[in-house]
Amino acid sequence: MESNDLRIFRAVALEGSITKAAQMLGYVQSNVTARIKQLEAELKTQLFYRKHGMILTPTGEKLLPYAVQILHLLDEAHKALNDSDKPTGRLAIGANHTVSSLQLPQILSEYHKAYPDVDLSLTTSSTDELIYKILHFQLDGAFVKSSSFIDDNIVEELVYEENLVLISSPETDDIRTACSKPFLMNTIGCPNRVNLEQWLNAEGINNIRYMEFNNLDFIIEGVMADLGVSFVPQSAIQRYETKGLLKSFSIPPQYSTSKTFFIRHQDTLMTSALAKFIETIESKTPYHQIAH
């Protein structure tokens, strides 16, 4: 019993006539006769009384609601897939710990408001793990900091460029004094920290001490309390600096520029849910260009 058998069965049942059903379906009458007889043989039961027309037997009446529902579902399924203007389904996004706290909540919130039918999921993990999941199609895309991923299957898009500054308590006189204090930083592997170390190296500053914090607010509070110094997005501390709660020092752009990328598999199916997500990213950020 296949769905087309049920389509023919339904037509005959509703029309009460093989001839009319055949016209409706665009078949020739003899074919409809054959299909119905075949269905009756397969189900080992009579579905119609033939009385100069076709009248459902009690068994046929049992089958009809199933036929109607199954055909309706087939129709629904077709619509659900082809109705691709309306973003629906699941959208699995990943993010490195470094990016999740700042722009991402805004982007997700705005996207969810615009497209509430999409089930958003956010996975926060290390960049390596994010890349693995993208290569295995477990994520539709991810926000990461570092670029150039070797793998040809990954396409990346710059979505945000931030300026990192060295921050310290207001009393600090100069950069070198600041650098003698402990650095309140994220755990190893954070790209900001890699940049920082490169600069410190270039300046010939060694003997650096770290204190590990994985929360930006804690870090800022710690710096204001003169627990140590840090290296954070300028935008995140602007309001504290204007109030005189801390002091910031700029370092050369090749070290201070932090780039956020949206990466995805080059073969990801561009669903409307994903397309609209990328649109949302772009609308929130002045920068965007395709790399690789």
Partner DNA sequence: ATATGCAATCATTTTACATGATATCTTTTT
Partner DNA sequence: AAAAAGATATCATGTAAAATGATTGCATAT
Q: Is residue 68 a contact partner of residue 10, using CB atoms and an 8 Å limit? A: yes
Instruction: Give the separation between CA 127 and CA 175, rounded to whole angstroms.
Output: 31
Site string for DNA, 93-112 (x = CB under 7 A): --------------------
Q: Which residue's CB is nearer to a second copy, number 62 or number 243?
A: 62
Q: Which residue's CB is nearer to a second copy, number 66 or number 287?
A: 66
Contact of residue 54 among a second copy, DNA, none (CB under 5-8 Å per partner type): DNA
The residue with tokens 């002091």 is 247
The residue with tokens 């993010």 is 95
Residues forming the site for a second copy (CB under 8 A)? 1-4, 43-46, 49, 51, 55, 57-59, 61-63, 66-67, 69-70, 73-74, 76-78, 80-82, 84, 88-91, 135-137, 140, 265, 267, 269, 271, 273-274
Contact of residue 283 among a second copy, DNA, none (CB under 5-8 Å per partner type): none
Q: Which of 256, 102, 215, 229 is nearest to 168 (CA)?
A: 229
Q: Encoding tokens for residue 176?
A: 């070198």
Q: Encoding tokens for residue 110?
A: 């705005």
Q: Is residue 284 a contact partner of residue 127, using CB atoms and an 8 Å limit? A: no
CB of 45 to DNA, least distance (A): 14
Q: Which residue's CB is nearer to a second copy, number 134 or number 200?
A: 134
Instruction: Give the separation between CA 151 and CA 265, rounded to whole angstroms.
Output: 10
From candidates 35, 145, 247, 265, binder to DNA by CB under 7 A = 35
From candidates 24, 27, 88, 234, binder to DNA by CB under 7 A = 27
CB of 12 to DNA, least distance (A): 7
Residue 133 sits in the site that holds DNA (CB under 7 A)? no
Q: Encoding tokens for residue 67?
A: 């036929």
Q: Please tell me the number of Cα atoms within 13 Å of 146 on its side-chain side.
A: 16
Which part of the chain contacts DNA (CB under 7 A), choosing from 50-58, 124-132, 203-211, 213-221? 50-58
CB of 264 to a second copy, least distance (A): 12
Q: Which of 166, 281, 277 is nearest to 228 (CA)?
A: 166
Residue 51 sits in the site that holds DNA (CB under 7 A)? yes
Q: Which residue's CB is nearer to DNA, number 24 or number 227?
A: 24
Residue 138 sits in the site that holds DNA (CB under 7 A)? no
Residue 4 sits in the site that holds DNA (CB under 7 A)? yes
Residue 37 sits in the site that holds DNA (CB under 7 A)? yes
Q: Which of 284, 261, 268, 142 is nearest to 191 (CA)?
A: 261
Q: Please tell me the number of Cα atoms within 13 Å of 12 on its side-chain side.
A: 32
The residue with tokens 């019993």 is 1
The rounded Cα 280 to chain-centroid distance in angstroms is 12
Q: Is residue 47 a contact partner of residue 23, using CB atoms and an 8 Å limit? A: no
The rounded Cα 142 to chain-centroid distance in angstroms is 7
Residue 26 sits in the site that holds DNA (CB under 7 A)? yes
Contact of residue 34 among a second copy, DNA, none (CB under 5-8 Å per partner type): DNA
Give the N- to C-terminal CA distance of the chain in Å, as an integer: 51
Catalog residues that contact DNA under the rule CB under 7 A: 2, 4-5, 12, 17-20, 26-31, 33-38, 50-54
